[in-house]
Amino acid sequence: MVRKRVALLGATGSIGINTLDVIARHPDRYDVVLLTAFNNVKLLTKQVRRFNPAKVALSKEHIQAMKASFGRKVSFFDVATDLPALVADKNIDIVVLAMSGSVALDPFLSAVQAGKLVAPANKEALVVAGEMIMSEARRCRARIIPVDSEQSAIFQSLEGHRREDLRCIHLTASGGPLLRLPRSRQGKLTVKDVLKHPRWKMGAKITVDSATLMNKGFEVIEAQRLFSLAQDQVKVVIHPQALVHSLVEYIDGSMIAQMSVTDMRIPIQYALTFPERLPTGLKGLDLAAIKQLTFEPPDVAKFPALALAFDVSRRGGTAPAVLNAADEVAVEAFLAGNLPFPGIYKIVERTVLLHKSIGNPSLSDIKEADSWARETAAGFLRKGK
């Protein structure tokens, strides 16, 4: 068996931790050759000691302290500047993108241009530059197998079927922690209230996006790019049990779904072992115990971020980059206690509406739109709008 060499970007987040758990379960299959993180030095140090990567990237201010701990056994790099070159290394087979935010764009592009197998849990890069990434992946013969549970479910449900038989896909959403909360009460929500996701344990940013349904809007754009879908081929349905991770509908009326317990190790392992399936050590679903699965349409009046994302998807060009950047600024302000929960959508909407989208953007166009959106959203915050 040929061992696969893995680069894990974002090792100390929830996806990164679960990825290393999967790798540890299969020590005969994988070697970790690169780990990256930003500031969680304590956990990163433990991971480096356990998995012995040759290279580590982290925030520049922590590099000297890490060097003192490991000496010449490990080479250290600046996570802010060195990732694109690191992931292109010929000694890497698989790049797992577990880092959050649009900062993943450059290493994602570099990995596909180097012809790697890329397993993205990051959706922001595909939102802001998905058409460019997928075009480069085709040109360079890179393979992209999504780790995000919904996109993995679509990927699995498409395998073995003719694409010309596809009618549409249905992305499921749990509805997040605010599904049954009246919109009139959203203004009183605290950060602690919003971070209580009923099904998934995730980072703060993605949990807030789940509460606004912006995360599902990002997934709509991401799915269109990943699977080359038309606007009307992507649907969203609320599924509170979060056991059906998404569905594919075919022209004969058949639907194929992927179901499993809510554990990210399942889609992570599938991306790493594809096309094989291996035991995960997790318990399977007890269908009799579940008793019922329910589905309902999303309430876009209560969660307007989802409708905004659909509109941005139709506009295309640089509009998705603006949507993502404004959301990152607004969510950061909310988590810092500087913006009420309903203000997240207001800031993002105003920023998006001001933007004049550029069609068929270059990478510089996308980055300029990103910077413009961040400055504009920050300006709204300063004015208290």
Per-residue pLDDT of 325-365, as tens digits, reads 999 999 999 999 999 999 999 999 999 999 999 999 999 99
- What's the confidence (pLDDT) of residue 1? 73
Phi, psi of 27, rounded to the nearest 5 degrees:
-65, -15
Question: Looking at residue 383, what is its pLDDT?
Answer: 86
pLDDT at 200: 66
pLDDT of residue 385: 54
Is the separation of the CB atoms in 149 and 123 below 8 Å?
no
Q: Give per-10-residue mean pLDDT for the chain (385 aa).
A: 94 96 96 96 96 97 92 93 98 96 95 98 95 97 97 97 97 91 88 82 87 96 97 96 97 98 96 96 93 95 96 97 98 96 97 97 97 98 80
So what's the pLDDT on residue 177? 85
pTM for the full model? Answer: 0.94
Torsion, CA 182, CA 184, CA 190, CA 191, rounded to 10: 70
Q: Which amino acid is at 312?
A: V
CB–CB of 95/119 below 8 Å?
yes
Distance separating alpha carbons of residues 306 and 275, to the nearest angstrom: 33
Centroid of chain to Cα 156: 17
Residue 305 amino acid letter: A
State both tokens at 72.
């010449």
Please classify residue 54 by burial: count the beta carbons closer than 10 Å to its beta carbon, then call 0-12 exposed, 13-18 middle and 19+ buried.
Answer: middle
How far CA 346 is from CA of 327, 333, 339, in Å, comes to: 10, 13, 10
Q: Tell me how far CA of residue 205 lies from CA of 12, 198, 242, 254, in angstroms.
A: 15, 16, 19, 36
The answer to whether 118 and 83 are in contact (CB under 8 A) is: no
Rounded to 5 degrees, φ, ψ at 355 are: -80, 135
Residues linked to residue 168 through DSSP beta bridges, in sequence order: 249
Q: Look up residue 232 and give its DSSP letter.
A: G
Question: Which strands sit side by side in the sheet containing 117-120, from one edge to the other?
Answer: 75-78, 55-58, 30-36, 4-9, 94-97, 117-120, 143-144
Instruction: Report the Cα 371 to chain-centroid distance in Å.
Output: 21
Q: Give the chain's domains with CATH numbers.
A: 4-147 (3.40.50.720), 160-262+285-300 (no CATH), 316-385 (1.10.1740.10)
Neighbouring CB atoms inside 10 A of 28's CB total 6
> What tens digit of pLDDT does each residue of 219-275 get?
999 999 999 999 999 999 999 999 999 999 999 999 999 999 999 999 999 999 999
